[in-house]
Amino acid sequence: MGKSIDTVCIHGKDVRRFVDNTGSISFPIYQTAAYAHPAVGESTGFDYTRLQNPTREEVERIVADLEDGIDALAFSSGMAAITTLFELFKPGDHIIVTDDLYGGTIRLLDHVNKKNGLQITYVDTSDLEQITSNIKENTVAIYIETPTNPMMKVTDIEKVAKEAHEKDIILIVDNTFLSPYYQKPLLLGADVVIHSGTKYLSGHNDTIAGFLVTSREDLSEKLRFLIKTTGAGLSPFDSWLLLRGIKTLALRMDKHQANAIEIANFLQEHKKVEQVYYIGLPKHPSYDIIKKQCTGFGGMISFTVDSEETAKNVLQKVKLIQFAESLGGVESLITYPIYQTHADVPIEKRLAQGIDERLLRISVGIENAKDLIADLAQALEG
């Protein structure tokens, strides 16, 4: 009988690899760079921590199990994971990418990958027609965020996967905002899933990490070669922090969501709020797709206020909610995308997506919802 996901968060699907004889409940931190060989031609299974480490191997096992993949690779950051992923491609390859995308990914694509010969086309991937009409003979991958950062657009993963696989195109999905607790792209047909492990998987705003998860043996083999070669693997201590954080993923995600629903409803009714972007609201344009492919809505909300002055007042006057640009931790954070997460995105591209001086984004934490609403209320009225 398969284990429930909240159990998998703690134990994985199978018994963990036996690497010590102490009976330690907490998986040990193997803080070592190298491993001794028993004899010539013999190995313990570990040779050098750049290649693999028992603590990193354990967190990779848990994340692969959570995403129902065959392999997961842990990286030193989400951007290290994405950078390594794009080494799968060669100059002249064409990739279709979600237009409303995390600013750091856009920076990588526009200033590094294009320089290296990749062809990038940005489209609204929530519109399948925009994807299909932009596929070329040299299109090798489709890269989507769903929901997107920060405008919360949703792409139908299953439909895009069907279109991609008919043309032998790899489908890549950034699943950071919902985590495997609420969305499993591999089961919907994706080939690779990306996580900024810094966010919900870690959950405590105390470490940086990234993950690639795949359901394909050929991609696993290629990515293993790349992580070994580029040296971007996650350190033993950070791997342990991720293991500890993931144990409470199910509990945290349920609380993030419960709080977010209350806050989204509050914001919808506030006179200074003009638009609320939250995938848990029935008025979301992709609500039917969300209900089909997700088991929950998560804790990310973006909203537009009536003026730039109001936005800046909120950022200055929040007390419990902290003005910072990360997300997915137990503490609630509020971000100003135009000057933080998307500061390096050209202004015309920002404005075209609705990322202007009136847009704010909240990563809803696990504090008491009434306390969070009271803080927003006083900040909006200030």
Percent helix, strand and coil across the chain, each rounded to 5? 40, 15, 45
Q: Residue 344 has which token pair?
A: 């390096």
Local structure of 61: helix, strand or coil: helix
C-alpha span between 359 and 353 (Å, rounded): 11
19: DSSP letter: -
Beta-carbon contacts of residue 207 (< 8 Å; ≥ 6 apart):
198, 238, 241, 242
- Ramachandran quadrant class, 85 (left: phi over 0; alpha: psi -120 to 50; beta: rest): alpha
Measured from the Cβ of residue 365, the count of other Cβ atoms closer than 10 Å reads: 25
DSSP 154: -
DSSP assignments along 199-221, one per residue: TTTT-SSS---EEEEES-HHHHH
The 8-class DSSP code of residue 263 comes to: H
- Based on its alpha-carbon atoms, the radius of gyration of the chain, rounded to whole angstroms, reads 21
Strands 300-305, 273-277: pairing is: antiparallel
Classify the phi-psi angles of 57: left when phi > 0, otherwise alpha if psi is within -120 to 50, otherwise beta.
Answer: alpha
The residue among 92, 90, 91, 73 whose CA lies nearest residue 82 is: 73
Distance (Å, whole) CA 362 – CA 335: 6
Task: Give the residue numbers marked as catalytic.
Answer: 50, 102, 174, 199
Q: Are 40 and 28 in contact (CB under 8 A)?
A: no
The answer to whether 234 and 242 have CB atoms below 8 angstroms apart is yes
